[in-house]
Chain A
């Protein structure tokens, strides 16, 4: 089997593809570096010259405004040049192959590719074919991973809860299709979180998920008992009615987060959501806007975390 393609021969992070397989020290280094960048985001001149002269190409094969925007802001705060490419999947399937697209951009002197793609594993394929000085950051591939989201979720948890080894964390919703859930689960288990739970109807819980180190709950009230943190996953429109679920209403009744359900968690529980939220489907407005919610701080932390990741990989040679 191959060496972990994210790390170079010295064990340094040259690409960020998945939290799965990242040594604990690397994760902690990202969080510590993000900490320093929070300081930068709080002052008037929010830029540092670290990536001046470098080009960051946002290669989004799946549309996304918010993730792309936060990567753009992060890159610009590092003084990098940012080029956005939104490649609709249909035009890609008619025309250029994925590797041809990357090769063309490489010829335009790219330094960092931020890639979001609908197929799991696409960033790995890209990482196998880029030049030694080019770096790939996975902004979400299929159901597989969304490592920067996982890292900012870890940052958020550490900010409010400090010690992972004492926590009970519940992840609720469409785990089957969620790259956010998978990344967070890997991060939590690597940092020693003793109790990680997934909560959802069986149709939305993937086979063998226990092997990732989680406990499965079908009953939300059972699963939320004594939780320190609750992470709500977004339910996509097309999944709300069909073979997986009968309706958004029934989902909300049993798996939507309301103040009443949240009451069984610890009194200082925090509520997280990767966004964008479907109010009234996975989360009630009173909770989303309530005192336990840290959903907006997550966004700020996200910029610092992405600055940290970009500055760590860009300084590393293959």
Chain B
């Protein structure tokens, strides 16, 4: 199947290109650009007049709820949501039920995803068996089944000895370990950022140093083992500063932030809006500004959706009892565009954080528009609004503080391996 896209404002963040042009995709890969693309006779031509064509989005954290939590969402619905949001590659954390600690489970998941033929799925394997923090998983086997990295998801590793051994083991094979920096004792029982707002609302707080103490421990062990570590979902100003210093030092560390945390802070909890119950918690305005600055200067390598579909009942609870998380696959692009507009960033730089940069973290060649790269593209209208309504969202999770908002960045078509997997009616 060959596909040509014409009249596009073609943006390739990796090279910095932002110019009108054409793309030809053949046999699932980008075969030609611009003048070279014009010569071909493709099976289908897509007219991208008035739209941006960029690499398909790469999302390093999206929960698909399969296996095990199908009542919250299914692979079908969430893959539909992914491509509707322009996401062509996504990594799913291992906290499924059962957790992704066995090659058989990973195989099955990848097969299911391939059969659906929507976005590419890159599973992140469990670091320890059942995520329980007692026994290492067979990381080499899991890698062979397709795991791109290993993680504890949101389950903190209490035993630092175990953390050290796990990082050593991963290093032996050159695997990357993805960790949520959250010191378990300090995080225990907390539901909001420990500060003025939590005090006013009477919510148990998690201090920022729960994050920095964990980052410190991880960095120290990294210095000893040399393991490549990706820190998931930074939330604090101090955390960003620590990563900035660690990068300057030359440590093999990277990190991401959830897109909701770029826009919201603890003030947005308002009158106990459980849509703002997130993990990590929304911290102060200062923290939000520091996260923003971190994304701008590249200290924070990429922005992810942290897609966590939660059913209505689980959100219709008092704040501390509500399930944390927000739906995010269909909000990643519009929220990122809004961030870019607010901070006056050039579009190519904004898009880098959700295309080539996360692709680099995943270790895949997606996220670029260049000859030979996978034919994964998103065509979107940066002015047209996205329908963030209950009916408009394809994900089964309608849980976002932005429900009902109008945000620009409507995806009109999504292409994976040269096939149009999503097209706006």
Spell out A's residues near B (CB within 8 Å).
1-2, 4-5, 20, 97-99, 117, 119-122, 124-125, 141-145, 179, 182, 206-209, 211-212
Contacts and interface: CB of A to CB of B under 8 A. Distances in A.
A1 B202 CA distance: 19
A218 B271 CA distance: 31
Interface in B187-205: 194-196, 198-205
A37 to B, nearest CB: 29
A209 B320 contact: no
Contact of A120 (B201, B207, B270): B201
B271 A5 contact: yes
Contacts of B274: 125
A182 B270 CA distance: 17
Q: Which of B194, B198, B205, B272 has most A Cβ within 10 Å?
A: B272
B207 A207 contact: yes
Given A97-B313, A117-B318, A182-B200, A207 B272 contact: no
A104 to B, nearest CB: 15
A125 B270 contact: no
Which 9 A-B residue pairs are closest in the complex by CB-CB distance? Answer: A121-B272, A144-B202, A143-B202, A119-B318, A208-B196, A122-B318, A211-B196, A120-B202, A206-B199
Given A121-B272, A124-B271, A144 B317 contact: no
Contacts of B406: none
A22 B19 CA distance: 55
B316 A145 contact: no
Contacts of A144: 201-203
Given A124-B271, A124-B272, A207-B205, A119 B319 contact: yes
B321 interface: yes
Contacts of A211: 196, 199-200
B68 to A, nearest CB: 22
A2 B316 contact: no
Contact of B195 (A5, A145, A208): A208
A80 B200 CA distance: 33
Contact of A1 (B198, B203, B270): B270
A117 B321 CA distance: 12
Contacts of B319: 119-121
Nearest to B270: A1
A121 to B, nearest CB: 3
Contacts of A2: 270-271
A122 B318 CA distance: 5
Contacts of A182: 200, 202
A5 B318 CA distance: 15
A121 B199 contact: no
B320 A142 contact: yes
Q: Which of B271, B313, B317 has most A Cβ within 10 Å?
A: B271
Nearest to A185: B200
A208 B321 CA distance: 24
Contacts of B318: 98, 117, 119-122, 125, 141-142
Contacts of A208: 195-196, 198-199
A98 B318 CA distance: 9
Interface in B155-189: none
Nearest to B197: A208
B203 to A, nearest CB: 5
A145 B271 CA distance: 12
Q: Which of B199, B204, B320, B321 has most A Cβ within 10 Å?
A: B199
B316 A99 contact: yes
Given A97-B317, A98-B318, A142-B320, A121 B271 contact: yes
Contacts of A142: 202-203, 318, 320
Interface string B33-51: 0000000000000000000
Given A98-B316, A212-B199, 5 more contacts: A5-B271, A125-B317, A182-B200, A206-B205, A207-B199
A204 to B, nearest CB: 12
B235 to A, nearest CB: 16
Contacts of B320: 119-121, 142
B193 to A, nearest CB: 9
